[in-house]
Copies of this chain bind each other. A is one copy, B any other.
Amino acid sequence: MKAVILAAGKGERLSQGEDKSKPKPLTPLLGLSLIERAILSAKESGIHDFVVVVGYRSEEVVKYVEEKQKRLGVNLDFVENEEWKKGNGVSVLKARETLKDENFVLLMCDHVFDSSILKELLEYAKKRGDKCVLCVDKPENVFDLEDATKILLERNKPEAIGKGIKNYNAVDCGLFYCTPAIFNALVEEIGKGKYELSDAVQCLIDSDNLEVFDVHGRFWCDIDTKESLEYAKNKMLKSLEKPTDGIISRYINRKVSRRITARIVNRNLTPTQITIISFLMALASATFFFLGEYKYLVIGGLLAQASSIIDGCDGEVARVKFLTTDYGAFVDSILDRYADGMLILGLILGYWLLNGGISVWIIGLFAVLGSFMMSYTNARYEGVFEKTGGGRRIPVRRDMRLFIIMIGAFMNQVLGMMLLLAILTNTEVVRRVFSIKRIITKKKL
């Protein structure tokens, strides 16, 4: 399957303001240009061959994308549309020769979207046989309704399309599964002097060649103005939460880490480098714990919680820049385990040097054991504990453990805090061993 990406327009409204230096496809959004983002989003759905239609300042766009090609890891064809001023229908038609008679996906470089939409569009289209399928959403989900292309649906069948139609109940999301029928429609409409893609789509509607696919409110946005760029950025940052996030992570850590991610995403920091920074902060925290005195405990507690927050940023940067790898997640999990061990060792040593006694060692060792077993049981069942049985579990995952460590340090209650950790974690492990049996019996894992 090939994808055609329209990147020929000028983007007048977006470039009003300071940044006239860049053509629209090169506009940065959370560390990637719009054109890179469109390509990488499609690549997540298994598309590796792209036809990019360029027009306005085409040389700059081609040069920029070609330089990134190796990192993008896809095949690229460029098609020039010198008549880009006429309308986007002309741009689509220019891709005809390169595509021959294959079906393809049509994307706009200035539309960002949740890549699950494209994945499901492709699955849906496969089932529908040889019809064009257009992604649609409800009008209330659109950022700039005035500028959107509207659609009238009657019992889920499209009846009319256009920017100016008065009677509508859906909008076009800018993701379009096309058969070669689109080219015939374009030729016909362009012959009549109608140069917009939506004119050809109306033609497909009239010949009963179009179906629609509802994106059900999942994220997509047409980037036409500074405001929509800002809107998209905030929406994307919010979507970085994970369904498996713990309480502390959801209500505290993510709120901070998102802001940090928004700032560091444009720098050349790799996710692994961020992982290492978080690990070093945990080691620094352990060192302060080791010093034992109350003032150092407070600093150590703050550093532990800060490390926990930064530990969210590596994944966020990876997801927002399409850099997620199994290996990255693996290294992250290994360093997290060592950080957990070092933090508790620092606490034990600091307490022991001041107060002596054997109990801190024994309790500390059980806290280490319990922390590890939380991660180990999870690794053994690949997240089944995090996905299922939400209500009754003891919320003592890493976000909560580091939070407890911080609070314990603030209260100068090292022994009590470690006892709490040891009890909560090991109790939760025992609960898991018994509950997994029910889950296995029910779900036949």
Contact = CB atoms under 8 A, between A and B. Distances in A.
A421 B437 CA distance: 33
Interface string A180-198: 0000000000000000000
Contacts of A333: 376, 380
Given A341-B369, A365-B341, A365-B345, A433 B377 contact: no
A368 interface: yes
A338 B369 contact: yes
A337 B376 contact: yes
Contacts of A338: 369, 373
Nearest to A441: B327
A330 B362 contact: no
Interface in A420-445: 429, 433, 436-437, 440, 445
B368 A326 contact: no
B369 A330 contact: no
A330 B377 CA distance: 8
Interface string A367-381: 011001101110111
Given A341-B365, A365-B365, A368-B368, A330 B381 contact: yes
A50 interface: no
A361 interface: yes
A331 interface: yes
Interface in A354-394: 358, 361-362, 364-365, 368-369, 372-373, 375-377, 379-381
Nearest to A365: B345
4 smallest beta-carbon distances between A and B, as pairs: A379-B379, A341-B369, A372-B372, A379-B380
17 contacts: A326-B445, A327-B437, A330-B380, A330-B381, A330-B436, A333-B380, A337-B369, A337-B372, A337-B373, A338-B373, A345-B362, A348-B365, A352-B361, A365-B365, A365-B368, A368-B369, A376-B379
